[in-house]
Structure 1
Amino acid sequence: MTHVFAALSPTTIVAALESVGMAPAGEPFALNSYENRVLLFRDDDRCGWVAKFYRPERWSTAVIQEEHDYLLELAAAGVGVAAPLRLAGGQTLHHFGGFDFALFSQQPGQAPELEEPAHLFALGEVLGHLHGVADRRAFVHRPTLELASGAARASDEVLASGWLNADQRRAYERVAGHLVEKLEGYATPPADMIRCHGDCHLGNILGRDEVFTLVDFDDCLMAPAMQDIWMLLSINDPASWQARLSEIREGYEEHREFPGDELSLIEPLRSYRLMRYSAWLVARWQDPAFPAAFPWLAESGYVDSHIRELEQQRMWLDSSRWLG
């Protein structure tokens, strides 16, 4: 089956960039991105730019434009984000050869070190600033995080994928069903949702000298604020967790009250992400980028390992390890 990016050849990429007045000095270099195609290039002045070609038929134009408008709003408020470039006429979203694409200036720097208190404070500060702007209004077109129904859809996708044998299918159905049932008790009222980054892991945070920039808002959505915080707290040692939380909270409260009442959502949010991640991998397996990037998915032990991971997560959901 021909994958959706088969038509995005190097020639098409360069032609798309030239169509908006960009002249790459050399062939664009592909960055690690799988849902979309993201490329780095330099112009004749040696300035670095990133071109993002969106996966066709995933998001509507209105959904992508709302992402761009949100980024421009955040940037105007001084939040550290990589906002899309406005070209002549004010457009940020462009179209060429059946693809939607956008341009961003290259963001220098490295991922933060979560063992560094100053980095944790700075991360809390940028997230507090982000959320302080985010809760001024709601998204109209972007998705809303729905833990139980989203996890149920993920379970259905994994079960329909053909990756599980009979024994694995029974085990997966059992543990996934339990997790979905538990997640039904964690519905967040719409009034408590804000516009979140949505995928705030270390790969989407770049910086230097304790100043960090959030990149890749492709999954931004309405969600509880903890959706952008919990992945920075993934550590099993209670004392270290409390110390990390303290630094993040202190930075966050430079701009906004920390959502301490949402700490109980950490394990539900982790459960949701674990289930969605596997569903995403099997759903995208026909894209050649995925077997190359995730070869372990095709190994015989992956499904068993994932089921064990979900079983462990079921135990964490039944306890309150983050609140002890």
Structure 2
Amino acid sequence: MTRTPLAYDAGMQPLPDPLPATGETPAQPYAGLTPDVVMDALDAAGLRGDGRILQLNSYENRVFQIHLEDGRIVVAKFYRAGRWSDAQILEEHTFARELAEAEVPAVAPLVLVAPTADMTTLSPATLRGTPPTLAQWTTTAGSTPWRYAVTPRCGGRSPELEDPAVLEWIGRFLARLHVVGERRPFEHRLHFDGTLRVRAAVASLADSPWIPMGAFQPWQRTALQALDAVDDRLAGLADLTLLRVHGDCHVGNLLWTPTGPHFVDLDDAVTGPAVQDLWMLLGGNRHEMQAQLGALLDGYETLRAFDRRELALIEPLRTLRLILHSHWIARRWDDPAFPIAFPNFDSPSYWAQQTTQLQEQLEAMAEPPLIA
């Protein structure tokens, strides 16, 4: 069986999607986020653009590259309403700043300073965090506020995962991230809970009126069988160490420069096992994945010990991600961007394909775990 490294949007998080923190997401959550509003929002947070703006790819949030009058180029992320609470976003920011302070290459948010009255005619944004890194600003009285953060623009290219030396370097990088991640716990962000939230996700999908039930029901039966298999794997893995991890470590979130790798997004940072940040970088057949895993761990274990029992979680974690991928699309189906991006989601062929993939996962979880 051949595996393809997963490169989903950050919203397709491998650990359970949270329940809405501030109410359900509106059907058109970004309808009013025009370029003028984006520029005004940055101006209200003390960052004046020169008019050049480029929207970047993202389904879950809205992300823009903006040139500032002072010559800097920044990236502004406008958070989807109802997904994360302020406390959860600020924990993400704190983790990013901790990594940057430890010289682990991760892009940390800028510290924001509200402009004075002589700098702008706009009402200043409300700034949150210590130091302030999260802004909240409303276009008109009574409207839903936009929440956003701003980071420096950091470029790069996709890493060459077929190169063992690159994988070793990434392994060292992830070990450094985890050394920082285990220093203190998250208090507000998601915590790995096995299959509990994923089972709730499967149940909620059954209530979707536009999903074809004839094709969905075989998927549902197979998904529950797969979750039983995940539980069987988890039952033999007591007392695993859980720590702050990136949570969505796929090739799309990892950029390579002449000085090595860096992350551009910690939007899905969670409390989970260390292997969560390794398995999505593996692809190909079993022999190829074993070689890739060996190179990753050769680098990783030069800086941090790795619990080899966690290798038994690779296929279970892949299974959880596949199920949550469907749940994520369903939760966002009222957003006009999603039917365009996933046009066959409400068709029998989609659910038949997903059923086949979960059957393959059942076979994979019946095999012995990878070794390295």
Among candidates 72, 81, 103, match of residue 97 of structure 2: 72
Asked if structure 1 preserves the Cα contact closer than 8 Å seen for 2:212 and 2:348, the reply is no
Letter in 2 for 1:165: P
2:160 is the alignment partner of 1:119: no
Structure 1 partner of 2:223: 176
Alignment of 1:231 with 2:280, yes or no, is yes
What per-residue deviation string (whole Å, max 9, x for no partner) do you get for residues 263-285 of structure 1? 00001000000000111011101
Q: C-alpha offsets along residues 169-227 of structure 1, whole Å, 9 cap, x if unaligned? A: 33122101111222223166576100011111111001212601112111111000011
Quick one: which amino acid aligns to residue 49 of structure 1? Answer: V
Q: Distance in 2 between matches of 1:312 and 1:158?
A: 21
Q: Is the 8 A contact 1:122 1:210 kept in 2?
A: no
User: Does residue 313 in structure 1 map to residue 313 in structure 2?
Assistant: no
| Pairing partner for 1:136 from 183, 189, 194 | 183
CA gap 1:179/1:163 in 2 versus in 1, 3 angstroms: farther
Q: 1:170 to 1:289 in 2, by over 3 A?
A: closer
Q: Work out whether residues 171 and 296 of structure 2, in 8 Å CA contact, stay in contact via their aligned partners in 1.
A: yes
Residue equivalent to 1:193: 242
Equivalence map 1:31-110=2 (5 Å): 31-88=56-113, 90-97=131-138, 98-110=145-157
- Does the CA contact (< 8 Å) of 2:159 and 2:254 recur in 1? yes
**What is the rounded CA distance, in whole Å, between the counterparts of 1:92 and 1:224 in structure 2?**
28
Q: Which residue pairs with 1:30 in the alignment?
A: 55
Root-mean-square deviation (CA), in Å?
2.0
Give the match for residue 122 of structure 2: none
| TM-score (normalizing by structure 2) | 0.82
Q: Which residue of 1 aligns with 2:205?
A: 158
The CA deviation at 1:6 is 1.8
* Counterpart position of 1:246: 294
- Amino acid of the structure 2 residue aligned with 1:93: L
Q: Aligned pair in 2 of structure 1 residues 8, 217: CA closer, same or farther (>3 Å)?
A: same
Aligned partner of 1:232: which letter? L
Segments of structure 2 that go 5 or more residues without pairing to the other structure are 1-25, 114-129, 139-144
Q: How many residues align?
A: 323
Query: In the alignment, does 2:307 pair up with 1:266?
Result: no
Q: Given residue 69 of structure 1, which amino acid in structure 2 is its aligned partner? A: T
SS at 1:11 equivalent: helix
Verify: 1:291 aligned to 2:339, yes or no.
yes
**Gap change, CA 1:190 and 1:141, over 3 Å in 2:** farther
Given that 1:52 and 1:101 are in contact with CA atoms closer than 8 Å, whether structure 2 keeps it comes out as yes
Structure 1 distance, partners of 2:187, 2:240, is: 14
| Separation in 1, partners of 2:216, 2:281 | 32
Distance 1:45 1:190, change over 3 A: farther
Counterparts of 2:61 and 2:212, CA distance in 1: 31
Query: Tell me, what secondary structure is at the counterpart of 2:49?
Result: coil
Is the Cα contact below 8 Å between 1:71 and 1:82 reproduced in 2? yes
Distance 2:225 2:351 in 1: 18
Query: What residue identity is the alignment partner of 2:86?
Result: T
Tell me the CA shift for residue 250 of structure 1: 1.6
1:75-131 per-position Cα deviation (integer Å, ceiling 9, x unaligned) = 101111111111238311111121111000111101111101221111111100000
Cα distance change, pair 262–22 in 1 and its aligned pair in 2 (3 A): same
TM-score, normalised relative to structure 1: 0.93
RCO higher in structure (CA 8 A, sep ≥6): 2
- The whole-number CA distance in structure 1 between the counterparts of 2:333 and 2:323 is 16
Separation in 2 of the partners of 1:52 and 1:76? 22
Aligned sequence identity (%): 37
For the pair 1:220 / 2:220, whether they are aligned, the reply is: no
Q: Alignment partner of 1:206: what SS?
A: strand
Deviation at 1:134, TM superposition (A): 0.6
Contact 1:157/1:283 (<8 A) preserved: no
2: CA distance between counterparts of 1:3 and 1:77? 39
Contact 2:311 2:369 in 1 (8 A): no
